[in-house]
Amino acid sequence: MLSNILAATDLHVSLKAEPVFDIGPFTVTNSMIYGLITGILLVTLLVWAARKIKINGQKGFSQIPEVLVEFVLNLLEGPLGSRKLAVKYAPIFAFYFVFIIFTNMLELVPWVGPGVYVVYEGIKTPLFRPFTADLNGTIAMSVIAIIMVQYLSVKEQGGKKHLQHYFSDKPHNPINFFIGILEVFGEFTRILSLSLRLFLNTAVGEILISVFTSLVLSSGRTPVAVIPIFLFETLVAGIQAYVFTILCATYLGLAISHAHEHDEDHQTDDAPKQVEEGVGGG
């Protein structure tokens, strides 16, 4: 019978980051430790790979960053509208892409989650929790991403044209002003959308891994049961990195293209005048 095959296990499932230790009034959670370690490892690997990259190419690990950069360039070229802008902003968006993949892939190693425990106030707490499985972490990433989009938009086209993205070129019109307020409010909904999407997919993956790894037979644990979940989580990690990056690039591309459309309209309006002046001068 199934009840004789499966045994009871201690299953640790938590939807929020858990405290590990305190530094004065500041509480350090397991997702903070994981995020810090992940960031240090990622930067170290990328710096090492950058030193190995050569103009003519080189086999080995250094080819992986080259492939990722080329993929991100092709990814950005569509939303941003040109290869030039894609190359210009690739380092920023590529770091988001690689960080999300890297942090989501490391959650599959045995010591992340219930693999390693510490005792905090008499409670056993996992030492490491995926950074993207913490809603505070994904909200922070989303806030930084949206602020980055605003900054790059202003830097690319100036503050006036950036405001025209929200309020058009006639902000005194009550309808345009109301639509502009809705557009500004939409930036906050983008933060919520980006953070919740990334958090829920990672958190659900953590729960699935915990459930499947807790399945035990009479002879002990059954690691084979978790292999499909590992493969699924690998796919989800790539999809989430892709979605987060493409959405942020699309937000920037929309703001920039809106201003470019205004420029093209003004150039079209001025063209007949220039033709008339040219004919009159001739």
pLDDT digits (tens, 9 = 90+) for 96-124: 999 999 888 887 777 776 677 788 777 78
For residue 259, count other CB atoms closer than 10 A to its CB: 19
pLDDT of 271 > 70? The answer is: no
How is the chain split among helix, strand and coil, in percent rounded to 5? 70, 5, 20
The arithmetic mean of pLDDT across residues 211-229, rounded, is: 60
The DSSP H or E segment spanning 276 is helix 227-281
Give the Å distances, CA to CA, from 67 to 53, 54, 92, 139, 241: 12, 13, 16, 29, 15
Residue 90 lies in a domain: yes
Which tokens go with 251? 């937000």
| CA geometry: angle 131, 135, 183, nearest 5 deg | 120
Q: What is the pLDDT of residue 59?
A: 65
For residue 116, count other CB atoms closer than 10 A to its CB: 13
For the chain, the average pLDDT equals 78
Q: What is the pLDDT of residue 260?
A: 55
Residue 159 lies in a domain: yes
**Which among 105-109, 181-185, 190-194, 200-204 has the top mean pLDDT?**
190-194
Per-residue pLDDT band at 58 (split at 50, 70, 90): low
22-40 pLDDT, tens digit each: 888 888 888 888 889 988 9
The sign of the torsion formed by the CA atoms of 171, 174, 177, 179 equals negative
Residue among 136, 108, 120, 122 at smallest CA distance from 237 = 108
The arithmetic mean of pLDDT across residues 194-203, rounded, is: 88
Q: Name the maximum alpha-carbon separation found in the chain.
A: 99
Give one word for 117, left, alpha or beta, with left for phi > 0 and alpha for psi -120 to 50.
beta
- Number of domains present in the structure of the chain: 1
Residue 278 lies in a domain: no
Residue among 271, 70, 112 at smallest CA distance from 202 = 112
Residue 272 lies in a domain: no
CB of 169 within 8 A of CB of 177? no
The DSSP H or E segment spanning 19 is strand 19-23
Higher pLDDT, 183 or 264: 183
Residue 281 lies in a domain: no
Predicted TM-score (pTM) of this structure: 0.77
Q: What is the pLDDT of residue 4?
A: 41
Residue 212 lies in a domain: yes
Residue 273 lies in a domain: no
The C-alpha atoms of residue 230 and residue 52 are separated, in whole angstroms, by 31
- Host domain of residue 140: 2-266
